[in-house]
Chains A and B, each alone.
Chain A
């Protein structure tokens, strides 16, 4: 019984990581219907940025992530404003193909710059620390990841529903032309949204890099988990994305408990199962 409980708790914690991977994607997708196939590679890019800051300046990884955030925001803003905005339109092919190309470019750029070696960001012993919560032990880092994921989602929801920027986001998402008539510049709004998504990506990268090894080629797999979380949760719902991440996390830990080789497969099967029963996800908000 304890082991089943343990598996569920580990699954929820893992789900926190996937929700972090997915939150930025969910934001961008929700606002501009843009599918960023380079999202996973951008997480890996941010992880390398944090790694460089940690090794070159001797910073604590958490501080390094804070330094990386504005840089990633600027990169995201520019990426959206100068490249991705050109691809938006009724046809879904251009954004898919451009971001797919971007994914290949980032992966191979990182391979050229950092080789294919496996890296890890050291968090100074925090990785191995654990807390006893009743009958089960919980790692401090996984717990921190889940807390960060919840904090990010609360923060994004506040931004969305309590600020004028959030109102502009929602208006542009509903109807960019009418929003434009009200004095909103959709291109800038989209750029800001991608910038914010890149800040979330940096937080995700911090946990990606400190919790496990990473190398330039692991991005696409993270993208798939993130997408599964977004789709399971339902378009436009950030809490749904968290729920989606947790569904994938629990499915993976249960799969791994049966046979370590089935971990990833179990996550994918859970995704297909949800899709079969509820093709629009668990908590769809936007109609699309």
Chain B
């Protein structure tokens, strides 16, 4: 079985913020990591290959530095890694990204037929969850998103558990298929030293627009219907009334309740009435 995993290098977002005064970006010590959902996807693929035999190829679209995300995937057991890097890819939104990735998969498929694509559910920097379904649509593969368990593969069918509104479903679809991974799908292994060393030594293949036979007008900025108009700091709610309960505790709380029940009279009445019904 041949599995392709699509991964993305993302900034470790916890530290990116905007200075509300100057509206500039503060990226103190921002490190790039492999999107955690994508690592789960790779782990799941490696486990499938361990179960059914086969190979795992990881691909990523990004700048040359994104190679390190691919190495992370290699260290946990992916067999091959390809970086899609070309200036023509820059500025891609999800449509252009999924097009680019699917062109690469088409090429990989021609050399060695692809049975399964596994992507992370979403990337932590964008949270869009669109690239996986986009790829499935371009490729015409069976689409199975939010997969939390791969139950089995038999006679060209894959059976998985999907997390959906109000519960989960067990669903069976034809291969080739595209899965997106929930975090529960697999727990990422700690690479062994020989695997880590293999990953560090591996020469990542780099493909550009020509290598994947892509239509220039569908790539990067040109191929992206959406564009960023502006970015800004999240809106700040204006501050309200403050009560200092450090000094005069009783009075402060009493003052607060007084203000609350006067200013929000109707709201509070409604809430207390509903609460009393609920209790009865």
Q: Do A and B bind each other?
A: no
Which residues of A line the B interface, CB within 8 A? none
